Amino acid sequence: MINLKINHIPVTVPEGTTILEAARIANVEIPTLCYLKDVACVGSCRMCLVEATGARGLVAACVYPVAEGMEVLTNTAKCRKSRKLTLELMLSKHKKKCLSCERNNNCELQRLSVEYGAEEDHFGSDEPIHPLDDSNPCVVRDNDKCINCMRCVAACRKQHVGAIGPIDRGFLVHVGSAGEVALKESSCVGCGQCIVACPVGALTVKSNIGEVQAALENPEKKVVFFTAPSVRATLGEAFGLPVGTNVEGKMVAAIRRLGNCEVFNMDVTADLTIMEEAAELVNRIQTGGVLPMFTSCCPGWVRFIEQTHPDMIPHLSTCKSPQEMFGALLKTYYCEKNGIDPKNLFVVSVIPCTAKKYECKRPEMGGEVDVAITTRELARMIKTAGIKFCDLADEEFDNPFATCSGGGTIFGATGGVMEAALRVAAKTLDGKFEVVDFPEVRGATPIKEATYKVAGKTIRVAVASGLENAEEVIRGIQSGERHYDFVEIMACPGGCVNGGGQPSLPDSVRNNVNLKEERAKALYTSDKHNKIRLSSESPVMDAVYGEYFGSPNSHRAHQVLHTHYKADPRV
């Protein structure tokens, strides 16, 4: 243990702790821009410079280790002058379109500039030199707003994608893709982790708000929304509510006030996905099919495997994701039941994920979901409409797609798909199997493994979140070091609760609050209090199979709810 003082406050920390980490223990906040917990720590932005005994000049607190007897000062005139100068140099290359920027009033550069009194034109302003790249269906890149903190690069590398990196050197350095190709032509999988890492507005989601508003105002269109499981656990953050607040009722009420529409619960098709996926898994186990079977509900993960490991495509479940199953269910079963021409039904998916925007445009999906909007986009629509979100009384989803199982709800957290599938698969294999909680696959641990005995069979499972960890699992399977029957993978670390379309939170929150854990708690609490824990016990499943599909994995179910995947042509 190391004893030191930070701003004259005694602190004792383990050896190897950085000054930044020690300062937080002393309740001292040191400003950062390039640092992001668990993503980037390179000391490149120079905002966290402090004075420390034993050091020559100012040192970067995010990478400088503490020493016995060290005295650190974080708010001296020298520190403040350095930070102000750093900010003014960044502003000299930054396109200052703050009033029209998506990150206005939620921008780290803007906040620090105000706090340190930085003059935005102290060093003059450069003319824009980088064209806007809006070629990608998920992400828009505006390099004239980039401050070269490289957090997006670190996030992309951590995802084992590497679609972007620094190009050129010195004053000309900028973020781009190899060969300066457009983002659409890069290896980007659309996970959006670069967006949530960006402290400014250089990376934003490609918005579809205009299309949704146009449909709501079109009298010839019947508009239906459905919301993904994790959105209820994160939307409140955009309105100042604590992280992990379940706002399901207010969310439904707010969407209804956007226009004439119905609001359905995507947890229903999470249940439907489990019915199909569990049946497919049981069939593969019983007939000697391709194992391990990979989940296919995360489009970022699917695109990753299509691009980097096309030989593993046969391991993917043929099930569509819950988003695409809902679109297919609405354009077939729902339209037929209600005498609606599918062309007049406008389907809006509200999702935590930027890759879903790409997914609904895939030709294999048949265009059944017209538009996918993120949690952030929904929050913006609610604010634009003048709806006082926090004052709304709770309302319930519309029938016939309102009731779901707890298994459908936990889809939004890493391990949730696995647990929901295990509940149904175990019950299918052994009718007397009564276990509904599988704690071994819960939590934000990057890779989780478990083995279960069901009906005399050993089922080996693994759960991974974050594509860096997915790569480790795949390599283990390919080398023969890892043996599984069923594998769940989510592209985003922690699963959908930490998706690229979730609310943008300041560094002071992201670096100090375990977002993945707090958001997941809301989903597991909802599951615990749900009287229906198994997807197979949902009355909505009884209805859709009894009235339309017949049974899981039936011919009609395969026509509507399943798809195929293929190697990316760029591989």
Q: What is the pLDDT of residues 150-175, one digit of tens each?
A: 999 999 999 999 999 999 988 888 99
| Mean pLDDT on 447-464 | 92
Burial class (CB in 10 A: 0-12, 13-18, 19+), 384: exposed
Question: 3-state class of 394 per DSSP?
Answer: coil
DSSP β-ladder status, 447-454 and 293-294: unpaired
Across the chain, mean pLDDT equals: 94
Q: For 184-229, what is each residue's pLDDT tens digit?
A: 999 999 999 999 999 999 999 999 999 999 999 999 999 999 999 9
pLDDT (0 to 100) of residue 571: 44
| Mean pLDDT on 125-139 | 85
pTM passes above 0.75:
yes
Apex CA 444: angle with CA 440 and CA 446, to 5°? 90
Give which of 320, 314, 313, 308 is closest to 266, Cα–Cα: 320
pLDDT (0 to 100) of residue 448: 97
- Per the CB < 8 A criterion, the answer to whether 138 and 144 are in contact is no
Give which of 369, 366, 368, 385 is closest to 377, Cα–Cα: 385
| Mean pLDDT on 442-467 | 92
Q: For 348-382, what is each residue's pLDDT tens digit?
A: 999 999 999 999 999 999 889 999 999 999 999 99
pLDDT (0 to 100) of residue 129: 80
Question: 3-state class of 121 per DSSP?
Answer: coil
Asked if pLDDT for residue 141 goes beyond 90, the answer is: yes
Task: Using pLDDT thresholds of 50, 70 and 90, give the confidence band for residue 341.
Answer: very high
Asked if pLDDT for residue 569 goes beyond 60, the answer is: no
Peptide bond into 292 cis (omega under 30): yes
Q: For 46-90, what is each residue's pLDDT tens digit?
A: 999 999 998 888 999 999 999 999 999 999 999 999 999 999 999
| Mean pLDDT on 118-146 | 88
Q: Between residues 566 and 532, which one has the greater pLDDT? A: 532
User: What domains appear along the chain, each with residue ranges and CATH number?
Assistant: 2-75 (3.10.20.740), 123-205 (3.30.70.20), 210-561 (3.40.50.1780)
- Per the CB < 8 A criterion, the answer to whether 234 and 399 are in contact is no
Among residues of the chain, what percentage have pLDDT more than 70? Answer: 99
Asked if pLDDT for residue 315 goes beyond 60, the answer is: yes
Q: Which residues are catalytic?
A: 277, 280, 297, 317, 356, 359, 364, 496
Out of 34-48, 77-91, 134-148, 553-567, which region has the weakest mean confidence (pLDDT)? 34-48
Out of 125-139, 252-266, 345-359, 511-525, which region has the weakest mean confidence (pLDDT)? 125-139
Phi, psi at 345, each rounded to 5°: -95, 120
Q: For 289-306, what is each residue's pLDDT tens digit?
A: 999 999 999 999 999 999
10 Å Cβ neighbour count for 288? 7
Asked if pLDDT for residue 126 goes beyond 70, the answer is: no
Q: Two tokens at 344? A: 């007049």
pLDDT (0 to 100) of residue 508: 85
- DSSP characters for 228-242? -GGGGGTGGGGGTPP
